[in-house]
Amino acid sequence: MAGASTPRVVLGQLALLIPVGSDTYAVSLETVREVVVDPRVTKLPTSPAVVRGVFNLRGDIVPLLDTGLLLGLRPVMEEPYAVLVETPHGTAGLVATDMPLTVRLNESVGHSDIEGTTETYLVADARLAVALDIPVLLSPGRISQ
Amino acid sequence: MSPQESLSENDFQRLFAMEAEGRLDTLVDELLELEKGGATPEVVASLFREAHTIKGGAAVVGMPHVARVAHALEDLLEEVRRERRGVDTALIDAVLAGVDAIRTLIPLAVAGQEHEKVAFDAEQRLRIAVGGPPVVDDKAAAGPDVTAPAAAPGATPSVRASAAPDVTVPAPSAAAPPPVAPAAPPPAPAREHHAGDGSVEAHGAADGAAGHAEPARATATEMLQIPVHRIDELVRLIGEASAATLRLGSALLERLERDPSGLTEYRDLVRSLNELQELALHARMIPVMSLAPRLRRAVRDLARETGKEVRFETRGDDAEIDRGVLERLADPLLHLVRNAVDHGVESADERRQKGKPAEGTIRLHAMQLGSEVVIAVSDDGRGIDVARVRETAGRTDRSAIEMDDEAALYLIFRSGLTTTTKVTGVSGRGVGLDAVRASLNAVRGRIEVRSDPGMGTEFRIAVPITMATLRCLVIKAGGQAFAIPLHSVRAVLPSQPSATVGGRAMTMLDGRPVPISSLSAVLGTGNGAVGPAVVLAGLTRSHAFTVDDLVDQRDVVVKGLGELVPRLPAVAGAGVQPDGSILLVLEAAGLIERARRMDNGDRSQEAAGGGGHEEPVPHRAASILVVDDALTVRELQRSIFENAGYRVRVAVNGEEALAEISHERPDLVLTDVQMPRMDGFELTEAIRKQPSLASLPVIILTSRGSDEDRRRGLECGADGYIVKSGFDQSALLSAVERLLGADR
């Protein structure tokens, strides 16, 4: 699964919650570089649908990825927030459809069997958050599929 | 083989030396006549013209010091011509001394020996004779070029042998002449010091890794080791500063309604930043020949292994290229030279039987042509057996059997094709040339091959000098702006009617049908467009794409899209624009392939599978008539244009040019101004007087950049007026391409 070098979500750790439609995902705060509000996205023709486009982050060109499609779920409809995460292959933006919030995670309530995710956590408002396994989820091979 | 006999810079210098000899003789003869009292305007004009021609020739063959002296001589004679100075013994003495100095300087320059001091003194004496102020000696002996700070002559880029990613950068004066060169000869100490060096390397020369690239005379104090990342950071910061300046400009315009281009301070800032950017980009350049030791070593080792006698020659020591691009070329070049030893060069016995020297020759030749570096790997071996290639490919692809020789030759780039029956450790596995081609695609390079049975083979690689900036045409398609590298734009056509031929939409270009598609449809971002069409040239074929609109032309700092984005054949990269938006740069070859597949549907499965061969587009090469009385300049221009794929004819003066034109109309005329019998202005006027030639594009190329000359040039009907002080090949080629593009 995940490479040992990249932090994964563990109990008591600070995590960022990424709302995607009706679902919520969590990434370790150590992986997150920043959150960009309303990124100005340039569409990337001929790219796989999972790549929503690219945007300018202070002179760097960063791809914005469809978090839903990455997990094999429904595509997102809009991209009001981009959560920038560091991966072994560079920085990428994950679409959040609502404002991402920081939380301290409680104990895992179970394993998640969606590929590219690890555990499920109970977060505020009785919501479940599925922790993302960034190195697995954001590998060049997976994105080009 | 048919390695096109390209002349190296040193060849041009020798050619110039011969030509200058004759001109100097004429100069002395006429001068003596002048002394006898024959100061007719014709004699004075002729003297002036000789000096002028020598100056121009010296500048273009990379002898800046000779050019400086000739320039001073020209200025002195100009004073006489304009009757601002009389003819007296002092004048004759000064001119004769100038002639003698040039005679002394040229052989030194050809031999690559120090001659700057002699030139400096001679120039100073001539300047004094003019009555003007002597040239200021700045102690650094940097000559009159003071555009770059801390000039240090003789600094030549070199590469350290260590594996550390450092480059040694030359002191700034060795940078390429800035595109907007002053009228003075270009600063090119680096070129000159290399002039006599290394055009042929003796067989079995030391293989010391650093041996070749070491500059002849750079001393420790002139060179500085700088980590590459620091230079990269510098380039990036300068780029950001430029972008910020542009933003500042648009803010001024929007908020204060002041056009920033009217502000001297703003213009100065922009100009300084441009110069800074140029210098910084140049700091990343290293000589192509820094790869030579590795290649020579590979040739020697493989020759020993296969029991062949092979000598390895290099030419083009001064061709430089971005370090990043060169790194990507190392493996392809290694592959090509190994192939040449293994497949190309025959055994000594076989060669003797064929009447060839026992020792085969493999030559690596690099030269800069405009914004590209062309690197040729040639051998004098057996050549490629095209029949065998065709037969081998024909076993899996019947269409190969039908191909003509030229098309069949390119089958060698197909994956899995080998004609070698035995598999050796080095070649014959059928992997390789397709990988070479793929590596070159990654740096936007292309490869060509020529082969003469029994005579040899030549592979030519053309790659952009830098991946950093790219001149692009910006268009809109499907509502989105895209940049298309200008080098792949063949033509722009107004909104075109298209006809359907065999189920495929076609339009006409140059009297030939070209397939046409909607760009947004090919990109999947929209349906049709009714705007203009942009005709793109891929590696081997052309295709027209309709767009919504043309926007403008700009230089785009191209960046990759990162590792996370899969490789998109139609997208070369992207650039961040001053307003913060991202402009995608399209890739012609990938677009054309995509358009073809969409056109062909299933029919092209085969092509998709094999990365298959495409027959070259047999488009007619445009013909250029080069008119110049200086042999060196003529031949240099011939070489530039022929290498760029044009047909070239030459004429030595206006009269001869008119005769050539009436014999066969060229597509473009490029003429010098100062010529005997009929000068460039008169020629242009004569061309414009003939109604049948009214649309023939004429470019005046001159080393005189005065406003008066420029005005006269344009008044007499020239389409372009180029000052050749820096002899910027890319500017020349792009001017020609622009005019021909508009014409065709």
pLDDT (0 to 100) of residue B418: 58
Q: Which two tokens stand for residue B744?
A: 């065709």
Which structural domain, as residue segments, surrounds residue B671? 623-743
Q: Quick check: is A43 in a domain?
A: yes
Same domain, B433 and B297: yes
Backbone angles phi, psi at A109, to 5 degrees: -100, 0
Q: Quick check: is A127 in a domain?
A: yes
Same domain, B15 and B96: yes
Which structural domain, as residue segments, surrounds residue A86? 14-144
CA distance B523 to chain A (A): 6
In the stretch 210-249 of chain B, residues with CB closer than 8 A to chain A read 236, 239-240, 243
Q: Quick check: is B227 in a domain?
A: no
Of B464, B483, B500, at which residue does a domain stop?
A: B464
Using a CB-CB cut-off of 8 Å, the residues of chain B touching A66 are: none
Give the CA-trace dihedral at A70, A72, A75, A81, to 10 degrees.
Answer: -30
Same domain, B437 and B512: no
Same domain, B295 and B420: yes
Q: Which of the residues in chain A have pLDDT under 50?
A: 1-6
Q: Quick check: is A6 in a domain?
A: no
Same domain, B426 and B354: yes
Q: Quick check: is B171 in a domain?
A: no
Of B610, B637, B670, at which residue does a domain stop?
A: B610
pLDDT (0 to 100) of residue B92: 84
Q: Quick check: is A61 in a domain?
A: yes
Q: From CA B729, how far away is CA B442, in angstroms rounded?
A: 25
ipTM of the complex: 0.90
Q: What is the sign of the dihedral through the CA atoms of A137, A141, A144 and A145? A: negative
Q: Which two tokens stand for residue B515?
A: 């397939």
CB contact under 8 A, A46 and B524: yes
pLDDT (0 to 100) of residue B368: 75
Instruction: Burial-class residue B49 by CB neighbours within 10 Å (0-12, 13-18, 19+).
Output: buried
What total of structural domains would you count in chain B?
A: 4
Range list of β-strands (E), B248-333: 285-287, 310-315, 320-322
What total of structural domains would you count in chain A?
A: 1
Residues B412 and B389: beta-carbon distance below 8 Å: yes
Same domain, B455 and B478: no
Best A40, A61, A69, A84 member to test B by mutation, with max B CBs in 10 Å, is A61
Q: Quick check: is A56 in a domain?
A: yes
Q: Output helix, strand, coil percentages for chain A, rounded to the nearest 5.
A: 15, 45, 40
Using a CB-CB cut-off of 8 Å, the residues of chain A touching B481 are: none
Q: Quick check: is A2 in a domain?
A: no
Residues of A near B (CB-CB distance < 8 A)? 40, 42-48, 51, 54-56, 59, 61-63, 65, 87, 89-92, 138, 140, 143-144
Q: Quick check: is A5 in a domain?
A: no
Q: Which of the residues in chain B have pLDDT under 50?
A: 1-6, 132-220, 421-431, 602-619, 726, 742-744
At B505-561, the pLDDT tens digits run 888 887 778 899 999 999 998 877 778 899 998 656 789 999 998 888 777 877 778
pTM equals: 0.43
pLDDT (0 to 100) of residue B49: 85
pLDDT (0 to 100) of residue A11: 58
pLDDT (0 to 100) of residue B354: 92
Same domain, B404 and B541: no
CB contact under 8 A, B243 and A140: no
CB contact under 8 A, B576 and A56: yes
CATH code, domain with A85:
2.40.50.180
pLDDT (0 to 100) of residue B336: 92
Q: From CA B726, how far away is CA B499, in angstroms rounded?
A: 46
